[in-house]
Amino acid sequence: MSYLVLRGVSVRAMNARNSYAVINVAPVMAALGFAHNLGRQLGGAPRGVAILHEDAQPLGEWCYGQDSRIWAWHPQQRRGSVFINKLDYSAKNDKALSLQPTASAHLTLSLVIEVDGSLRLGTALDRFMAGARLAGGQVDGFRKADLVATEEEARALLRSGFWLVERQDLMDAGNPLEALIRALGHRHPAPADDALPNTWLTPTTLGYALVSPVEARAGARDGAPHAFCEPLIGLTQYVSLRQYGQRPLPLWRGRWTASDVYLATTQQENHS
C-alpha cells in the first residue's frame, strides 16, 4: 500500500450543485471518481481518498431581493450560445433557450489517494492531470505530487487546510432529515476533550440509490449498462489540520452496501 499526495490541485468552474437540494464545494463522490479514473489511466488500484480543502470561490453575486428585503446569494447561470434542436427552447418563449439551474465554483484542494499496486508517475501523471476533470471542472494544475509509503509521511507533506470528514455520529437513523436540520441549525456546546467541534458542518452527496433496473439504454456513455438513481445526502464537516490532530487519515471509500445502494464513508470498518 502507498499514498499519492497531490498538493494544491486547482479546479476551475467545478459543479457546486452536487444534488438538487445542496450547493457546496464538498465533492466526495467526484473525488472518488477522480481517483478511479487516475487508477485506470496510471495503473494501481486506488482504495480511498482523503480530501483537504484549501480554498474556494463560489461563482455568483449577492443581490437585494425586493420581495424578501434581504440580501441573498445567487449563483451565476449559463446558457448555450446556439440552438441545438427544438428541445432546447423555452416552453414560454420559442425564441430563447430554456434555463438549466447551475452553480459553479473555483476550488483548490489537496488529495491523498491510498493506492494498492504501482503507479506510473512523472510525465504520465502530468499528461493525466493536464486533461483531468473533477466534479465537471477543469483541473488547471497542481503544485506537487509525491508517492509515499505511510500515512505519517503523507501527513508530513501537508501544512494547512481542512480535512473533509464524515459526521455520521450526528445523524439519527430513525429520523435522518430532522437530525440533519438539527445539526445544521443549532449552536452546539463546546466539545469534550479530544472530540471534534461541531462547526463548519455541511450536507453533501455521499452515495446514490438506484430507482430503475440496470440495463442497456440509448445514449448511455460508451454503451455501458445504465440506471436512473437518486442522491443520498449525508453530513460532513471541515476540520482544520490542527484540530484533527493525529487521528487516522479521513479516507473516503465507496462500496455497494446493497445491490441498488452505493455509499461513500470514512468509517474504518470499510477498509477491506
Res 196: pLDDT: 83
Rg of the chain's alpha carbons, rounded to an integer?
20
Res 80: pLDDT: 59
Res 271: pLDDT: 39
Residues 165, 142: contact at Cβ < 8 Å?
A: no
Res 270: pLDDT: 39
Handedness of CA 228, 97, 18, 30 (dihedral sign): positive
DSSP character string of 154-196: HHHT--S-EEEEE-GGG--TTSHHHHHHHHHHSPPPPPPTTPP
Nearest to 32 by CA among 266, 264, 250: 264
β-partners of residue 116 are 45
Cβ atoms within 10 A of the Cβ of 148, count?
16
Res 193: pLDDT: 72
Q: How far is residue 158's CA from residue 240's CA, in Å, rounded to a whole number?
A: 11
List, for residues 3-21, the tens digit of each pLDDT value: 999 999 999 999 999 888 8
Residues 180, 171: contact at Cβ < 8 Å?
A: yes
Residues of the chain with pLDDT under 50: 270-272
Res 173: pLDDT: 83
Q: Which residues of the chain form beta strands (DSSP E)?
A: 2-15, 45-64, 71-75, 104-116, 133-134, 137-141, 144-148, 162-166, 201-210, 229-240, 253-258, 261-265
Residues 64, 71: contact at Cβ < 8 Å?
A: yes
**Dihedral angle at the C-alpha atoms of 14, 27, 233, 57, nearest 10 degrees?**
-50
Res 162: pLDDT: 97
pTM: 0.88
Res 205: pLDDT: 95
Q: How far is residue 31's CA from residue 239's CA, in Å, rounded to a whole number?
A: 18
Please list the alpha-helical segments (H only) found in 43-175: 123-130, 151-156
Res 89: pLDDT: 65
Res 51: pLDDT: 98
Res 267: pLDDT: 82
Q: How far is residue 237's CA from residue 200's CA, in Å, rounded to a whole number?
A: 6
Res 269: pLDDT: 54
Res 116: pLDDT: 94
Query: What is residue 72's three-state secondary structure?
Result: strand
Res 70: pLDDT: 79
